Amino acid sequence: MAQHVRAIKSRIGNIENIRQITKAMNAIAMTKLTRIKRRLAGVRPYVDGLERFVADLLGRAGDTTQPHPLTVSDNAPGVGILVLNADRGLCGRFKGEVNAGAERLLEEVGVEARLLIGGEKARTHFDRHSVEPLRIYTHVYEEPTAEIARRIAADLISLCTEGVLGRVVVVYMRFLSDLIQRLTVEEILPLAVEPRAGDAIIEPDLTTVLNAALPAFLEGRVYRLLLETKTSEHAIRRQAMKNATENADDLLTTLTRAYNRARQQSITREIADIMGGAEALREG
């Protein structure tokens, strides 16, 4: 009985240590989530404004101007699938849902699919499946920056203009709220923007402005996607750590009750043994 009591007490200590870790990780994830939500809220209207500006430019181009290479497919057979996953674990359903979504898309596209991997969790997953990626972006957007987005966008433009890829699709987790994050598949190349009539003043000429505006628009979209997926990761990790802490609390309550019962039984048995021994002495 004493051994059983010690085993329960040891397990209680282990659960308390785990609870301290999950509670701390919950607080860290909450801090990171609050900070990156503010960044995402600032980037979304910026990208929307870029899209309206590009729509104005394309509206000025009209049907007589030759389409810009970034707005049309060159009929290359390759379809790039950019997977934006996490570099670290303990983020609940996040990494599994993103990898599963990418796998489904790979099956739909078939032999023309070309994988571009973002995040260590995607790299290790598809490495086990012997999928050879075109590009790997691991441990580069733990803190998303415009420079990282510019690098990824430049790679995508090069792959498309060189005829390796005809279009690019991104698999990522879109952030809707602290409790709602949605797996999303979004095509980002060629750039699909509906032309509209605008009054933008173009200097020096339309082609020059488009050559600057369209890559900048793609960079902005990639930056938004990085922030969307990283915000979702922090939100899901925070929720996972919150649930783990609550589960630890429930388990501690159950184990404490079991420990108290075991101690009471042990004490009762010891008292019974003492009284039995005393009775035997009196009879002797």
> What structural domains and CATH numbers belong to the chain?
2-21+240-283 (1.10.287), 22-238 (3.40.1380.10)
Residues near 6 by Cβ (< 8 Å), separated by ≥ 6? Answer: none
What is residue 93's predicted lDDT score, i.e. its pLDDT?
93
Q: What is the value of pTM for the model shown?
A: 0.87
> Which amino acid belongs to residue 110?
G
Q: How far is CA 146 from CA 103, 149, 152, 193, 219, in A?
A: 28, 5, 10, 22, 8
What is residue 145's predicted lDDT score, i.e. its pLDDT?
96
What is residue 256's predicted lDDT score, i.e. its pLDDT?
87
The Cα–Cα gap between 58 and 68 comes to 9
**Which position has the token pair 């994050």?**
181
Residues of the chain predicted below pLDDT 50: none
Q: How far is CA 44 from CA 50, 181, 227, 228, in A?
A: 10, 16, 10, 10
Q: pLDDT tens digit string along 210-264?
A: 999 999 999 999 999 999 999 999 999 999 999 999 999 999 999 888 878 877 7
Residues near 18 by Cβ (< 8 Å), separated by ≥ 6? Answer: 244, 248
Name 115's bridge partners.
81
